[in-house]
Amino acid sequence: MLKSSVASESASERRSAGATPASAGARAPVSAGGASRLARSGARPFAFRILLATMAKNVEASGDFKVADMSLADFGRKDIELAEVEMPGLMSCREEYGAAQPFAGARIIGSLHMTIQTAVLIETLAKLGADVRWCSCNIFSTQDHAAAGVVKGNTANVFAWKGETLEEYWWCTAKAVTWPDASGADLIVDDGGDVTLLVHEGVDAEKKYEATKALPDPASTDNAEFKCVLAIIKASIERDPKFFTKMAARIVGVSEETTTGVHRLQVMADTGKLLFPAINVNDAVTKSKFDNVYGCRHSLPDGLMRATDIMISGKKACILGFGDVGKGCAQAMKAAAAITYVTEIDPICALQACMEGFQVVTLEEVVSIIDIFVTSTGNKDIIMLKHMQQMKNNAIVSNIGHFDNEIDMAGLEKSGATKINIKPQVDAWRFASGNQIIVLAEGRLMNLGCATGHPSFVMSSSFTNQTIAQIELWTNKSTGKYDKKLYLIPKELDEKVARLHLGKLDAHLTDLTKDQAEYIGIKPAGPFKPATYRY
């Protein structure tokens, strides 16, 4: 299914991925920097504007993309322009780094929810000189107007639509990592680690093929998703037995967005299997304490209400896990006047929940009385079939934490329960007893499957970290600064990201005097906290 260049595919091949065929009508190329806006602003010299215009890709005319509906592009552009106003960190990056074009010559592959907010990140990377290709990291999270808007803007080759099958999802990932000249990327923006996984598994399979001539066998695993990965790698080896090996050698590094992806990277780093440097964006304070807490506090109730129109007030909600994501979710349910319970394995997090006024329980203690279940642990096998069978009629079961294995969807599908689709990403599952439960987004991230994810302002904080991490990796590609290890964004840059967002909220910092700074042993301009400080 994977081709080295979409331009060489027939129309029937492009349609075979299963999405609405994308329009490939001709369109004059536009500059990655938006030449007309730059001209009006006077922020860039004329020669620089001409350079941007000549560097622009003609994505739409090339046909090297796959989205649901190009007629949504104008809607997408309007929404992107609204989001830009709410994303001061990214807009500041464009202003600060635009003239220098730090990504000149860089190929960036992104695997991250293809939302309006991600569109602003994509266009920031492109405006800083990158050649960008993109896919989503979740089969339900793409906003189709955002994907179309990016393609129409000629800033990235996008392969994403809402409601992909697993086979389509991995096809999109493979298309995004393969440039038209049949080579790969220099940098990865990852969310959950799927591109990083694909590259590492590809390298391992190519080594095995070189030694034994044995191709990967999708039938060797029962995991539906890993079957797709093996199929992609098998097809790749048949075309070029060194594709992933060559790409791994040219990759400068990856910046990772999520807890799960960071965990994967840490395991690879600890075992010496990591093939390139990695920056942990997730644990930047301006990501984990903002996106994870405040973003989920906003998007959990949004997803619940869009999916079910349920009145949250007075209902009993159980938040499974009280990490940063769980804290935001519990705050949201409490603010909506739900009676909120928390489950936890960590005594520190459990004590925090108690001190915030939440009852800490085991799932088994409350499973039969809860109206709204929300998993937020980052682990697997949290709500199992036996729990779902004990739930009250029309209990809502949802996940905001990790892929699709916090909830035992496989067990539910094999249980004999009848699946009744109510609307996209909202399903009733009726048991033989007559009771039914409402499952959101098939156990995947409900805030993106049933709503639009986190709001622009909080994503500006996360994505400014991503942009800075990518600049850090690319500009140090020849310095030896980064080894094949996992690194955290420096405190100075973390504070910079926060500072870039204060003006939008009309916040005014107090200046530290020289004497005060000396008294507590820091510089007047920061960093203001030691690395050990727990915000």
Catalytic residues: 113, 136, 141, 191, 257, 282, 287, 291-292, 296, 402, 454, 462, 466
Asked if 360 and 325 count as a contact pair (C-beta separation under 8 A), the reply is: no
Q: Which letter does DSSP use for residue 98 in this model? A: G
H-assigned helices in 103-258: 116-127, 144-152, 166-177, 194-212, 224-239, 243-250
Is 508 annotated for ligand binding? no
Q: Quote the CA–CA distance of 15 and 410 in Å, as a whole number.
A: 29
Asked if 21 and 11 count as a contact pair (C-beta separation under 8 A), the reply is: yes
Of 362, 358, 359, the C-alpha closest to 331 is 358
Is 483 annotated for ligand binding? no
Is 259 annotated for ligand binding? yes
One-character DSSP codes across 210-223 = HHH-PPP-GGG---
Is 110 annotated for ligand binding? no
Is 76 annotated for ligand binding? no
Query: What is the β-pairing status of strands 339-343 and 436-440?
Result: unpaired
Q: What letter represents residue 391's amino acid?
A: M
Is 401 annotated for ligand binding? yes
The widest CA-to-CA distance across the chain, in whole angstroms, is 73
Is 115 annotated for ligand binding? yes
Is 521 annotated for ligand binding? no
Is 344 annotated for ligand binding? yes
Q: Which letter does DSSP use for residue 510 in this model? A: P
Is 515 annotated for ligand binding? no
CA distances from 267 to 188, 229, 248, 275, 486 (A): 18, 20, 18, 12, 10
Q: What letter represents residue 304's amino acid?
A: L
**For residue 512, with 0-12 CB atoms within 10 Å meaning exposed, 13-18 middle and 19 or more buried, which class applies?**
middle
**For residue 222, with 0-12 CB atoms within 10 Å meaning exposed, 13-18 middle and 19 or more buried, which class applies?**
exposed
Of 219, 75, 246, 250, the C-alpha closest to 147 is 75
CA distances from 90 to 121, 127, 442, 501 (A): 7, 11, 32, 10
How far from each other are the two terminal CA atoms of the chain, in whole angstroms?
Answer: 47
Is 191 annotated for ligand binding? yes
Of 318, 263, 320, 329, the C-alpha closest to 292 is 329
Asked if 279 and 489 count as a contact pair (C-beta separation under 8 A), the reply is: yes
Is 325 annotated for ligand binding? yes
The CA radius of gyration of the chain, in Å to the nearest whole number, is: 23
Is 260 annotated for ligand binding? yes
Is 287 annotated for ligand binding? yes
Asked if 369 and 392 count as a contact pair (C-beta separation under 8 A), the reply is: yes
Binding site per annotation, positions: 115, 191, 257-260, 287, 291, 323-328, 344, 400-402, 447, 454
Binding site per annotation, positions for substrate: 115, 191, 257, 287, 291
Binding site per annotation, positions for NAD(+): 258-260, 323-328, 344, 400-402, 447, 454
